[in-house]
Amino acid sequence: ANRDIAVGEIISINEPICTLLCPEQLDKLQNHCLHCHVFTKAPIPCETCCAVVFCSKECRRQACQSYHKYECDMRLYELIPLEGKEMFGYFLALRAVTQKPLKYFLDHKEMFEVFIDLDEPLNTAKDMIYLDEDYKTMMNLTTHVNDMPECLTLKNAVISVFFLRF
């Protein structure tokens, strides 16, 4: 920073690429909207599963037209308590992919392929503008892939195959 920042001062407001309710608070799935995470006294259930609720028909429509149709088929919210908190990162990555239509990834295939075998980010210039809603920015994050033990790499591969089956 080029100046002192006061305690409690808001310096940035970001919109994340994706969000997911915290796995330690799965009881909130019954009174917080899966899509926008607001508390709701009159929850609207998913039409195909009993694991999640929504605050409005519009939130339900948006979720079910994108990521939730996959999470619902996979019974994702039944897996979280069985698999533990370590699965949270996998589910968040899955949501980042499933909230966009396949056409988005096909249209941007060349851009994504640039990042497939990278160990380190492409551009780390200090003047680079970080756009938090941009998938290119997300793909350019440091992966630490070379720091992972072989058993974790194998686990990641198995989980990826599981996700792809849906």
Reference 143, options 117, 113, 111, 108; nearest CA is: 117
Q: Can you say how many angstroms the Cα of residue 101 is from the centroid of all Cα atoms in its chain?
A: 14
What are the tokens at 19? Answer: 């969000």
The pLDDT value given to residue 140? 80
Distance CA 163, CA 165 (A): 5
The pLDDT value given to residue 92? 87
The pLDDT value given to residue 7? 93
The pLDDT value given to residue 9? 92
**With a threshold of 0.85, does the pTM exceed it?**
no
The pLDDT value given to residue 4? 92
Burial class (CB in 10 A: 0-12, 13-18, 19+), 3: exposed
The pLDDT value given to residue 61? 96
The pLDDT value given to residue 109? 92
Q: What secondary structure letter does DSSP report for 8?
A: T
pLDDT tens readout for residues 27-54: 777 889 999 999 999 999 999 988 889 9
The pLDDT value given to residue 147? 84
Q: Which residues in the chain land under pLDDT 70? A: 23-25, 123-128
pLDDT tens readout for residues 131-150: 777 888 888 877 777 888 88
Q: How is 14-75 classified by DSSP, letter by letter?
A: ---S-----GGGGGGGGTBBTTT--B-SS-EE-SS-SS-EESSHHHHHHHHHTTHHHHHHHT
